[in-house]
């Protein structure tokens, strides 16, 4: 099993460095193919919005390899939340709400974007994912 997520998701401390190496290899292979057929191939990634998961990514190291990063800034609240009065909440709040019934975690789109920029991802590469 794993510490987080689906029982079949297995993690390793080497995943962080391996992810960076994987993005570098993808970029190298895409550039080689692009040189052969005169086409630029974009490399994109869907990435977590939470700080704990983002900390497992070497953001400033992968930034040069990626063209676009889609922050999964949705499902920030859900049935998994516990606590008195926690019944529902905004799926993708832009900013913290004073009416937020959850007093322990305040996940917002703004915080996620600021976190990614602060870790070294250029704003020009960031996309925000929201529910619809």
Domain range annotation of the chain? 42-128
Q: pTM (2 decimals)?
A: 0.84
- pLDDT, tens only, 73-94: 988 877 777 666 666 678 888 9
| Contacting residues for 64 by C-beta, under 8 A, at least 6 apart | 27
The per-residue pLDDT for 131 is: 85
Q: Which of 58, 26, 62 minimizes the C-alpha distance to 42? A: 26
Q: Low-confidence residues of the chain, pLDDT below 70?
A: 1-6, 82-88, 101-106
* Of the candidates 27, 108, 28, the residue with the CA atom closest to the CA atom of residue 116: 108
């Amino acid at each position: 099993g794993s510490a987080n997520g689906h029982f079949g998701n297995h993690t390793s401390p080497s995943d962080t460095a391996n992810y960076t190496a994987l993005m570098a290899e993808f970029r190298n292979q895409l550039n080689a193919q692009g040189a052969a057929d005169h086409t630029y191939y974009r490399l994109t990634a869907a990435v977590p919005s939470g700080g704990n998961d983002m900390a497992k990514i070497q953001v400033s190291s992968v930034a040069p390899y990626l063209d676009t990063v889609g922050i999964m800034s949705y499902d920030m609240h859900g049935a998994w939340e516990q606590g008195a009065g926690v019944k529902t909440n905004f799926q993708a709040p832009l900013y913290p709400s004073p009416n937020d019934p959850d007093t322990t975690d305040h996940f917002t789109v703004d915080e996620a974007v600021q976190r990614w920029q602060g870790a070294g991802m250029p704003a020009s590469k960031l996309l925000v994912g929201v529910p619809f």
